[in-house]
Amino acid sequence: MIEVPSRVSVRDLAKVFQDGEARVEAFAQITLEARPGEFLCLVGPSGCGKTTLLRCLAGIETPSAGAIEHRLEPGAPGAEQAMVFQQHGLFPWLTVEANLHFVLRESPVPRQEHDAIVQRLLERVGLARFRRFYPYQLSGGMNQRVALVRAFCVQPQVLLMDEPFVFLDYQNRIVLQDLLLELWQEQRQTILFVTHNINEAIALGDRVLVMPGTAGPFAREISCPFGRPRDVVQLRTNPDYQRIVVEVTQLLRQEQEHSLREGRIG
């Protein structure tokens, strides 16, 4: 295999929240590499700092120690990064298409392509008919689809996803997972996808990193060798898939017990 330099490289990252006397360690000694075009999932027990790690990568939070390096492809047309959140985070005063145009305007994507991109992506997720609608007029699943489109329309080199489907019902989650994989297959950016849903992580990712319950380096790395394109539902009948789900679940259980013993998580 050819050695490709990683797209995102994180070394010995730590984040400590200090509030007066109280000192809360979100995570410590996190090291990870994400290759160009890789779909990397991070799972971990609740409270292990998954979300905080992603917010550090996005630059929303500043890490307390360690280094984050984005080795971006020079001359790539799109944005450096984009992020999808647990909540859709659309601006309620803007229509669906205005929400997309708003972030496109801030991105390096050439102006003359904006209309076509918005049109094409909305059609792709079946929302072209709703482009003049406001978020309050759409269902939660539809809004999250728009949020997904918003991230892809700026053609990011790195896409950060923080449990983006956690508030969706089962049906919608499957629909959104399919759409995510389709859109990613076209653009092939590096995705860092945080979730506590083991099935989701294994069905979507190329690799799954299990975050430790207590501060420390990644507990384990598991690869998901299922080829692409994948059918996230069909995959469930695959014995390898089932084996890996059990394996990761065991790992997470150990981490959870470990962190309970350390008294770290409420």
Partner 1 sequence: MTGARLDLLRKAAVFVASPLVLLGIWELCGRMGWVDIRFFPLPTRILGYLIWLFREDNLIVDILSSMRRIGLGLAVGFLPGVVLGLAMGLSSWARLILGPLVALTYPIPKIAILPLLLIIFGLGETSNVMVVAIGVFFLALINTYSGVSQIPQIHFDVAHVYRVRPWRRLTHIVLPAAFPGIFTGLKLAVGYGLILIVAAEMVAAGSGIGYRIWTSWETYVIIELYACLAVISGIGVLLSVGLEALERVLAHWKGA
With CB under 8 A as the contact rule, the residue among 19, 21, 75, 93 that binds partner 1 is 93
Beta pairing, strands 81-84 & 22-34: unpaired
Q: Are 42 and 104 in contact (CB under 8 A)?
A: no
- 141 belongs to the binding site for partner 1 (CB under 8 A): no
For position 154 contacting partner 1 by CB under 8 A, the verdict is: yes
| Secondary structure class of 219 (helix, strand, coil) | coil
Question: By CB under 8 A, is residue 82 in contact with partner 1?
Answer: yes
For position 107 contacting partner 1 by CB under 8 A, the verdict is yes
Segment interacting with partner 1, rule: CB under 8 A, options 17-25, 84-92, 109-117, 164-172: 84-92
Nearest to 200 by CA among 37, 17, 42: 42
> Read out DSSP for 147-165?
HHHHHHHT--SEEEEESTT
When asked if residue 79 is in the footprint of partner 1 (CB under 8 A), the reply is yes
Least distance between partner 1 and beta carbon 229 (Å):
27
Q: Give yes or no for residue 241 binding partner 1 (CB under 8 A).
A: no
134 neighbors 91 (Cβ within 8 angstroms): no
- Quote the distance between the C-alpha of residue 99 and its chain's center: 20
> For partner 1, which is the closer residue by CB, 94 or 245?
94
Size of the chain in residues: 266
Q: Is 217 in the site for partner 1 (CB under 8 A)?
A: no
- Pair of tokens at residue 259: 């962190």
Binding footprint of partner 1, residue count (CB under 8 A): 26
End-to-end CA distance of the chain: 44
- Asked whether position 18 contacts partner 1 by CB under 8 A, the answer is no
Q: Are 190 and 79 in contact (CB under 8 A)?
A: no
- Judged by CB under 8 A, the residue of 65, 91, 188, 221 near partner 1 is 91
Alpha helices in 32-95 (DSSP H): 50-58
58 binds partner 1 (CB under 8 A): yes
For position 136 contacting partner 1 by CB under 8 A, the verdict is: yes
Distance CA 158, CA 164 (A): 15
Q: CA angle, corner 219, sides to 214 and 222, nearest 5?
A: 150
> Minimal distance in Å, beta carbon 134 to partner 1?
5
Which listed residue (24, 73, 102, 261) binds partner 1 by CB under 8 A? 102
Q: Does 85 bind partner 1 (CB under 8 A)?
A: yes
Q: Does 160 bind partner 1 (CB under 8 A)?
A: yes
If the CB atoms of residues 17 and 102 are measured against partner 1, the closer one turns out to be 102
SS3 content of the chain, % helix, strand, coil (to 5): 40, 20, 40
Q: Which residues bind partner 1 (CB under 8 A)?
A: 55, 58-60, 79, 81-83, 85, 87, 89, 91-94, 102-103, 106-107, 134-137, 150, 154, 160
